[in-house]
C-alpha cells in the first residue's frame, strides 16, 4: 500500500476543511494564532508534498531549495504576491489561488468601506463613545455625498467590475476606471464604466477605489505625487493589497487635509500598521476583512483544499497559476 502524501496547513482553518484533507493526506495542522517564521515554515515543510497557505507565507527560491519534496502550494487567497512564481516554476512546484469565490463579498465590503469613509461613520462613532456628543448641529460630521458622485476605480478585474455595477446601478454614480487593459465594449456597458487614463482618474474621482493586484509595477501606485492630483474633497479606498499605497505619504495627506478621508483594509507590512495612520481621525481602518463572511472564507479554504486534492491525488488542480509545471 502506497504511503499517503503529507501536507501542512500553514494557518488554522475550519475543521471541516481539515477533515476533508485528512481523507487523502497525512495532515499537519497549525494551532490558532500561530504564524510560522520563514525558518519555522521550512522546518515544518520537510517531507511535505503540499502546503495550504493564506497569502502571508512567503514562498521563494530559498524556501524551495530547502524543501525538495514540495510539489504544490495552494493559496486560499485570490492574490499571490507571496509567491515567487518564476522560482516555483523553475523548481517544478505548482502554485494555485482562489479566484471567483470572493468577488461579490469583497465588492460588498469595498462599497461598505467607501460609504463608511465618505459618511465619517467610524469618526462619529468614536466621538459618540467618548461622550463628546452634547448637542445636534447642522454640520455635525457632515461628510461627502455618495449617490450621484463620481467613482474612480483603479484596477478593473472581477471585483472592480462588481463594484462598478453596484455604484452605477444602485447609486447612480458615474463610474470611470483605469486598468492595464481596457474592458470590452460589452463589459463597459454592463458596468456603465468609462475608461480614462490614470491622471484623469485621479483628477476627476470623488471617491477613488483601488482594486489592482500587487506587483513591483504597482508598488506605491498611489504616493505623494498621485495624492496631490486628487481633489481635496476626495476619498481614497484601498481593498487591494498593502504596498499599493505609500501609507506614510497618505498619513501626511490626511493630516494636512489634502484629501478628505481614506478607508483602508490592507497595509504595507501588515499586520503592522504605519503608526501615523493611527493618529489621524479621518481614516477608517479594518484588519484585511474584505472577504470575511463565513460562507466566502469557507469557500476559499475549500477551493485551496480542492487544489491540493486535485493535484496530488487526481493530477488535475482546479485553479493553477503556473500550468507549465503540469506539462513538465
* Active centre residues (catalytic): 241, 270, 288
312's grid cell: 496530488
Q: Is the dihedral of CA 123, 128, 131, 132 positive or negative?
A: positive
Distance, first Cα to last Cα, the chain: 27
Q: CA of 259: how far to CAs of 18, 36, 140, 283, in Å? A: 46, 38, 19, 11
183 and 193 in contact (C-beta within 8 Å)?
yes
192 and 163 in contact (C-beta within 8 Å)?
no
- Rg for the chain, CA atoms, rounded: 22
Go through 230-250 and write b for each residue having 16 or more CB atoms within 10 A of its CB, e for each that does not: bbeebbbbbbbbbbbbbbbbb
Amino acid at each position: 500500500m502506497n504511503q499517503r502524501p503529507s501536507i501542512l496547513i500553514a494557518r488554522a482553518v475550519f475543521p471541516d476543511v481539515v477533515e476533508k484533507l485528512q481523507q487523502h493526506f497525512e495532515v499537519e495542522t497549525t494551532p490558532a494564532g500561530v504564524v510560522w517564521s520563514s525558518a519555522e515554515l521550512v522546518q515544518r515543510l520537510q517531507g511535505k508534498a503540499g502546503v495550504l497557505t493564506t497569502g502571508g507565507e512567503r514562498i521563494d527560491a530559498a524556501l524551495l531549495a530547502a524543501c525538495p519534496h514540495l510539489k504544490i502550494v495552494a493559496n486560499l487567497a485570490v492574490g499571490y504576491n507571496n509567491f515567487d512564481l518564476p522560482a516555483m516554476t523553475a523548481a517544478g512546484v505548482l502554485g494555485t489561488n482562489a479566484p471567483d469565490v470572493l468577488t461579490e463579498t469583497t465588492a460588498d465590503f469595498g462599497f461598505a468601506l467607501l460609504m463608511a469613509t465618505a459618511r465619517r461613520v467610524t469618526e462619529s462613532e468614536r466621538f459618540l463613545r467618548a461622550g463628546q456628543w452634547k448637542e445636534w448641529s447642522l454640520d455635525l460630521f457632515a461628510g461627502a455625498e455618495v449617490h450621484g458622485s463620481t467613482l474612480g476605480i483603479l484596477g478593473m478585474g472581477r471585483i472592480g467590475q462588481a463594484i462598478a455595477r453596484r455604484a452605477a446601478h444602485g447609486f447612480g454614480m458615474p463610474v470611470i476606471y483605469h486598468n492595464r487593459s481596457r474592458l470590452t465594449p460589452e463589459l463597459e456597458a454592463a458596468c456603465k464604466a468609462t475608461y480614462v487614463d490614470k491622471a484623469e482618474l485621479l483628477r476627476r474621482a470623488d471617491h477613488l477605489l483601488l482594486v489592482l493586484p500587487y506587483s513591483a509595477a504597482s508598488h506605491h501606485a498611489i504616493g505623494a505625487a498621485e495624492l496631490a492630483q486628487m481633489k481635496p474633497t476626495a476619498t481614497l479606498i484601498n481593498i487591494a493589497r498593502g504596498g499599493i499605497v505609500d501609507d506614510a505619504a497618505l498619513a501626511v495627506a490626511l493630516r494636512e487635509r489634502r484629501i478628505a478621508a481614506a478607508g483602508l483594509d490592507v497595509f504595507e507590512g501588515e499586520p503592522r500598521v504605519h503608526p501615523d495612520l493611527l493618529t489621524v481621525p479621518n481614516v477608517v481602518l479594518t484588519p484585511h476583512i474584505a472577504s470575511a463572511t463565513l460562507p466566502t472564507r469557507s469557500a476559499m479554504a475549500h477551493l485551496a483544499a480542492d487544489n491540493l486534492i486535485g493535484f496530488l491525488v487526481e493530477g488535475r488542480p482546479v485553479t493553477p497559476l503556473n500550468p507549465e509545471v503540469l506539462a513538465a
